[in-house]
Structure 1
Amino acid sequence: MSPSRASLQKKPREVAAMFDDVARRYDLTNAVLTGGIDHLWRRAVTKAVGAAPGERVLDIAAGTGTSSEPYADAGVEVVPADFSIGMLREGYRRRPDLPFTAADATRLPFADDSFDVVTMSFGLRNVEDVDAALREFLRVTRPGGRLVVCEFSTPVVPGLREVYGKGVLKVLPAVARRTSSNPDAYVYLSESIEAWPAQEELGRSVRAAGWTQVRWRNLTGGIAAIHHAVRAH
């Protein structure tokens, strides 16, 4: 099952089922579709998070845990969480040492002030209520703690927006048919990227949720962007 059209009114069960379907080959498909650049983006996120041993990180929408592994391997306590049980099962199969946790971003199963950092990569646009999720992230973050969100965004390089929107995004489903167990899911994914707000608009949403020191950095000409924020003391 996959949502027939992308919108900002997602049906959580349909989105979760979609990710369940693609879990086994999700990481491979992402690498193929991005030409391997997704690894560079994730490395940039890890650097932006800047977690040190002794800190606790919530990696929400962690999927199979690929984004969580660098923290764990560096001795940082990390909790990979996702609302797709299929993704979590695949992640646990790969890394049974990580505490994979089923979690809805809008209703996190964690106490207030539980984490030094909350990070989310390429998952916020799949959340039913983005504003509620951003408030939940604030709730579970300790005062002075950090938010780092990486998401597809709006290209800022002249000409790139047209090439990306009219070219790359349109061929994603066709390419996915070669590697994905559910190619139709990538119709939804490409449409959700096109429907997602630009950098400044997302920044305003982060501020409205109560975060401070909001800023962002473009990756690959704005195809993706990393938003940073801090919870006030």
Structure 2
Amino acid sequence: MSDPISVRARFERFPATVKGAFIFRGEDANPHQVAVAGARVAGLGAGGSSPVPLSPVTLDVVPHRDVFVPFELPLSELEPGWYTLVCDVDVDGIPASYDGGRRFSVPWPRATVRRGQVKVGRQVRLADATVHIEQVDCSGDSIKLHLRVEPAGEVTIKLFAGGRRLRLLELELDDETGRGKATAYPLMRTDEALRVELKGRGKGSEAAVDIALP
């Protein structure tokens, strides 16, 4: 059964704040009363959440029309990391929480993160596929691991560096070509190696690659 409403977060990221609005939309043929109890910013991989300054309000959400509730979130209290915005509501008296569907980052201090490109050119054999790890692109708030799976198929990835697991933000794989990239939390300058753990389909379809960082 589909949700009676949808909630999206749309915003602009400024140096000290995030300004935008939650957009409520009726998704079925009925009007709904939506009581907005509050909102919060939730960390991805870091745990915990903080309230978003937002006054409680009751909305009449009609079918297929948008209603906007603006917000402004100061960033000074947030630790470096990736975050999503969550809105807590009652829809016709039934409590629910909606992820706004858009993420943003609070950057790490520039001197602490690794930047640039690391060429890899390694391949590992899984039970039913070969995974080619091509390169790692490092930026201030994430890394992108470029890979190719032959033949194209599902692969799960875990990343580790400096004794910690790097939170995976997104894994994109083309169903036809097998090309893709994994986006994760950034590497620190103090990290000496990136460990990539791969798992395909079937028993014994596991492998790992340790990539030395220059």
TM-score range, shorter chain: under 0.3
Flag the structure with higher helix content: 1
Scaled by the length of structure 2, the TM-score of the pair is 0.23
Flag the structure with higher strand content: 2
Return the index of the structure with the highest Cα Rg: 2
Structure number with the bigger relative contact order (C-alpha 8 A, sep ≥ 6) is 1
